[in-house]
Amino acid sequence: MAEVYKLIHPVKYFNDYINRNVRPDGRKFDDQRDIKLNVNAIKSADASAVVKCGNTTVVCGIKLELAKPKAEEPELGFFVTNVELLPLCSSKFRPGPPSDHAQVVSNVVSDICINSKSVNLKELCIVPDKLAWVVYCDMVCLDNDGSIVDACIITLMTSLKSLTLPKVNYDVETEEIVVDTSVRMPLNITGLPIATSFAVYQQSPRSIVLIDPSADEEEMCGGVGANLIICCNDEQFCGIQKFGGSNLSTEAEKKTLAIAKERSKLVEKVIETCLINEIK
Amino acid sequence: MEIEDENNFKLRPMKCELNYLSRSDGSAILAQGETVVLVSVNGPLDIKSTSQSIEKATLEVLFCTKGGKPSVADRFKENIIRQTCETAILGCLYPRTGISLTIQELEDFGGLLTCTVNCACLALLNSGIAMRHMVAAVCCAVSEEGNLVLEPSYTQVQSASALLYFVFDSRERNLVTGFTEGSFSENTYEEALARCRLASDVVFDFYRDIVKQYSDVI
């Protein structure tokens, strides 16, 4: 019955829940979904991780390649991130070239990585002007049930933390490259950016902030994807994006910053625990 | 003309012309400092049935860079502008129609996106489309030493450790859109937000001055 009601009166259905201070999936406004994280899910990749935040599932695989650095930046390696939202993950996506939304998500994720300065591109350079690592980070969404950026950042950072670079010997004279895969060095990652998504719902006169929104909630709040994404990195912020949805007052905005900080500590613990378990 | 108010907020000089294009329903060209953007608005008009919405008007935003080559970053800009304008427009008055917003970048000397959002708002005002509220975008740079610079110049943008962009509504000065580059502390963010919120008044006053020149009713 509830399913039919949801289809016929989607707004009233949602409002009825919100009026009782509960969300359609039974969470409170400030409850987040459980996170399940698994490192080294893809054995053929150089590093990988799968995360499940509620139903949202994202796989990240990292592939290493060697290349010649750009002439204008001879001391920098390459770090490329890409997010794919395939028709598999939601009925909203069609086969073919990436949709606008997929491009926006990809851009947000890569911006967070650049702004947090977690990966030092200089470390990816082996011999200046001759040889450098290219780190391809491909994230594929298997199931899109909202807060996609959060999930992407968690799998990306977990994969990066577990990534090891093999030793490379480069002979300057003969230009011969010898890769020794038995000696591997971990990549230094400074800080740990963690993104937290929010949806802002206008139920006049109050505006309600929903943490870790599901796809249905994001749609009800009018935005394409989450309305507010806050990315914390060691007490600092490396990206606060707010698009669409209801307008945000000063008090609501302060509250979201505090929540994002708290959640980042929790997610940090999840990632650390997962990595320690993997080593055992 | 340097724009200053009693709180001594110095924004870059703004120059604007409405009805710049003769064949579109509304258009505006806006220069903020040396950054120049041209926006044309057409609509509400007929669009193909797959992109129609029975609840509200569909907003289509096309961002054309000076170089002409579309990129992923342009989709991101289009998304920012579309979502900002969607909250500003009373789209429910024009169901099953489309409103198209075409933006042409003419010069970029920093603060392109604030100039674009402000210009889009002026073009929408010019086109006569019903709006919930106006929007004003203000940019703030955090310099290496941690000082805040409102509406930074090109060199200040290049040397900034962080850039924060905010868009406010004209009714309660609430945050409509915000996005950031670089990393910064919570205090910096709060202060930048408060200063940009005050500075948005200058932009709204500018809108009033411009619209006054084109209409004798107000």
Could you report the per-residue pLDDT of B98-135, keeping only the tens digit for each?
999 999 999 999 889 999 999 999 999 999 999 999 99
Q: Give the predicted TM-score (pTM) of the model.
A: 0.90
Res. A263: pLDDT tops 90: yes
pLDDT of residue B217: 59
Task: Name the residue in chain B with its Cα closest to that of A114.
Answer: B182
| Positive or negative torsion for Cα A216, A221, A222, A226 | negative
| A26-38 average pLDDT score | 93
Q: Which residues of B touch A (CB under 8 A)?
A: 72-73, 75-76, 78-80, 83-84, 86-87, 164, 169, 172, 174-186, 189-190, 193
All structural domains of chain A with their residue ranges:
32-279
Tell me how far apart the alpha carbons of residues B199 and B186 are, in angstroms, rounded to a whole number: 20
Which residue from A259, A223, A257, A260 is spatially nearest to A243, judged by alpha carbons? Answer: A223
Query: Which residue among A104, A238, A243 places its CB closest to the CB of B75?
Result: A104
Could you report the per-residue pLDDT of B73-88, keeping only the tens digit for each?
899 899 999 999 998 9
Cβ-Cβ contacts under 8 Å, A242 against chain B: 175-179
What confidence tier does B7 reach under pLDDT thresholds 50, 70, 90? Answer: very low
Which residue from B76, B64, B63 is spatially nearest to A104, judged by alpha carbons? Answer: B76
Whether residues B185 and A242 touch (CB distance < 8 A) is answered with no
Res. B4: pLDDT tops 70: no
CB-based contact (8 Å) between A106 and chain B?
A: yes
pLDDT of residue A222: 79
Could you report the per-residue pLDDT of B136-158, keeping only the tens digit for each?
999 999 998 888 999 888 888 99
Cβ-Cβ contacts under 8 Å, A115 against chain B: 180-183
CATH 3.30.230.70 assigned to A32-279 = yes
* Helix H or strand E segment including B206: helix B186-214
pLDDT of residue A212: 94
The nearest CA of chain A is from the CA of B113 a distance in Å of 14
Whether residues A248 and B175 touch (CB distance < 8 A) is answered with yes
State the DSSP code for B7: T
Could you report the per-residue pLDDT of A177-211, keeping only the tens digit for each?
889 888 899 999 988 999 999 998 888 777 889 99
The nearest CA of chain B is from the CA of A231 a distance in Å of 10
Tell me how far apart the alpha carbons of residues B135 and B87 are, in angstroms, rounded to a whole number: 9
Cβ-Cβ contacts under 8 Å, B178 against chain A: 240-242
Residue in A80, A112, A118, A247 to test binding to B, most B beta-carbons within 10 Å: A247
Task: Give the start-end residues of each E strand in chain A.
Answer: 35-39, 47-53, 56-67, 78-85, 125-127, 131-143, 164-170, 177-186, 194-203, 206-211, 228-233, 236-242
Res. B55: pLDDT tops 90: no
The nearest CA of chain B is from the CA of A114 a distance in Å of 8
Q: Would you say A201 and A208 are in contact if contact means Cβ atoms under 8 Å apart?
A: yes
The nearest CA of chain A is from the CA of B213 a distance in Å of 30
Q: Supply the DSSP string of A13-37, one letter for each residue.
A: HHHHHHHTT--TTS--TTPPPPEEE
Instruction: Write down the mean pLDDT value for chain A.
Output: 91
Residues 6+ apart with CB under 8 A from A105: A83, A85, A148, A149, A152, A225
Return the structure tokens found at B67.
């170089």
Whether residues A243 and B174 touch (CB distance < 8 A) is answered with no
- Cross-strand partners of B165: B139, B179
State the DSSP code for B12: P
Q: Would you say A256 and A230 are in contact if contact means Cβ atoms under 8 Å apart?
A: yes
pLDDT of residue A279: 80
Spacing of C-alpha B129 from chain mean position: 16
Res. A252: pLDDT tops 90: no
What ipTM did this prediction achieve?
0.86
Q: Would you say A155 and A51 are in contact if contact means Cβ atoms under 8 Å apart?
A: yes
Task: Name the residue in chain B with its Cα closest to that of A83.
Answer: B72
All structural domains of chain B with their residue ranges:
3-217
Q: Kindly report the CATH number that applies to the domain delimited by B3-217.
A: 3.30.230.70
Residue in B92, B180, B187, B195 to test binding to A, most A beta-carbons within 10 Å: B180
CB-based contact (8 Å) between A104 and chain B?
A: yes
Size of interface A-B (CB pairs under 8 A): 88
Query: Which residue among A235, A242, A261 places its CB closest to the CB of B175?
Result: A242
Res. A132: pLDDT tops 50: yes
Cβ-Cβ contacts under 8 Å, A247 against chain B: 87, 169, 172, 174-176
* Coil/strand/helix, residue B86: helix
Could you report the per-residue pLDDT of B21-33, keeping only the tens digit for each?
999 999 999 999 9
Residue with tokens 């800080």: A191
CA atoms within 13 A on the CB side of A232: 18
Tell me how far apart the alpha carbons of residues B96 and A109 are, in angstroms, rounded to a whole number: 33
What confidence tier does A14 reach under pLDDT thresholds 50, 70, 90? Answer: very high
What confidence tier does A77 reach under pLDDT thresholds 50, 70, 90? Answer: very high
What confidence tier does A173 reach under pLDDT thresholds 50, 70, 90? Answer: confident
Side by side, the strands of the sheet bearing B175-182 are A206-211, A194-203, A228-233, A236-242, B175-182, B162-169, B135-142, B148-150
CB-based contact (8 Å) between A251 and chain B?
A: no
